Chain A
Amino acid sequence: MLSKEGIAKRIAKEIKNGYYVNLGIGIPTLVANYIPAGIDVVLQSENGLLGMGPFPFEGEEDPDLINAGKQTITTLPGSAIFDSAMSFGMIRAQKIDLTILGAMEVSEHGDIANWKIPGKMVKGMGGAMDLVASAKNIIVAMQHVNKAGESKLLPNCTLPLTGVKCIKKIVTELAVLDVLPEGGFKLIERAPGVSVAEIRNATLGKLYADDDVPEMVVE
């Protein structure tokens, strides 16, 4: 079973040289720490920055320079600043190669729910609906089951949707799965020490698994 850092490390292996990447809040943010050496990526922050750098040194925080999580950050050589409309323009026009975000539920059709729980205070979707509707390549980083032990990989989402038929890959503490175009989750890799039966048990949606599913390699 993977830790949150393990999930982030596994996802980092999906990032290719030259990618422009948008990272969501939570586990996706951790992915930035594990981008392999020799891979050049540009991180987009949807409040209007390409080329997001690390947090500033203490005393060098700039209140005018934040990321989409409202954290103080820095720029890097080659960074560019733009307004919010252009930021979502480049997302809509699919200039961003990869989007990594968290989810409450994903369905076997690739639908995602991650913004609203009926009966609870709704904070809003922020940029999530724009990102999932437009991105050509989305990886969901999430726990396989919720705190109540219920599967988050479902035949259909039960929570209000963020987007439909948009998710193609999911990385959880148990597995890497693809969402098949015709519907269903295809088991691609098992987390170290996790059996296919355990993954099947934790997956409520339709799961397709070959007889021999490789164990993932995470350093």
Chain B
Amino acid sequence: MINKVVGSAEEAISDIRDGSTLMLGGFGLCGIPENCIAALVKKGVKELTCIANNAGVDDFGIGLMLQTRQVKKMISSYVGENAEFERQLLSGELEVELIPQGTLATRCLAAGYGMPAIFTPAGVGTEIAEGKEVRNFNGKDYLMEYAFEADFALVKAWKGDTAGNLIFRSTSRNFNPVMAMAGKVTIAEVEELVEAGALDPDQIHTPGVYVHRIFKGNNYEKRIEQRTVRSRIS
């Protein structure tokens, strides 16, 4: 079995260069590639274009790469909760392209399925339709949106094996499987790395063919953005 294991986050991202286009998995701070982000901050690569649903918070997630001014452009669906992001956007240091969340996910999916474009009704008749081809199918208008092209996809899984097969946990799955399929080079960090054969093939979410490098991540913080609880007395 082909072995995809690399020793560290630093090694995994060693060929990410200034100006690269990256996909980063996660929804809010849930299921983000914490180790890869830390390694990118340490490496100091700049002028990055980041495709990610959100842009982290000021001091965590992609927010860490914004603090160090490593991001040139964000392609996201929602970018609230981040004061430094807002400052850079308003000052013109940072470019942002906002796209509907389903369009974002499906443009990743298309890339992973080898399809050049999708048709979606999201955004028809709004400003995001400007300059885009509209096609009518069965009486309803759809926008043509292109599959993403990303140099690297950085994803976080719960378990992975040496062959690159991935299993995600709970809603930390979110964008990770579709981004894993979409990267020209896909780097997976996992909480638990096991030998090929230790995972049940029936339970694999992302087959190893999509994953080029895998490593065991360390010291996951898994910060909670909105801690909401209910009382035990009710």
Contacts and interface: CB of A to CB of B under 8 A. Distances in A.
Contacts, number: 177
Nearest to B140: A133
A72 B101 contact: no
B105 A121 contact: no
B162 interface: no
Interface residues of B, number: 57
A93 to B, nearest CB: 11
B217 interface: no
Interface of B: 27-31, 53, 76-80, 86, 89-90, 98, 100-106, 108-109, 120-128, 158, 168-178, 205, 222-232
Q: In which size bucket is the chain A interface?
A: 35 or more
Residue picked from A54, A75, A81, most chain B C-beta under 10 Å: A81
A70 interface: yes
A123 to B, nearest CB: 4
Given A70-B29, A164-B125, A127 B100 contact: yes
B228 A55 contact: yes
A82 B176 CA distance: 11
B223 to A, nearest CB: 7
Contacts of B178: 83-85
A134 interface: yes
Given A55-B228, A83-B174, A130 B76 contact: no
A67 B168 CA distance: 16
Contact of B86 (A46, A69, A121): A121
Contacts of A89: 106
A165 B125 CA distance: 9
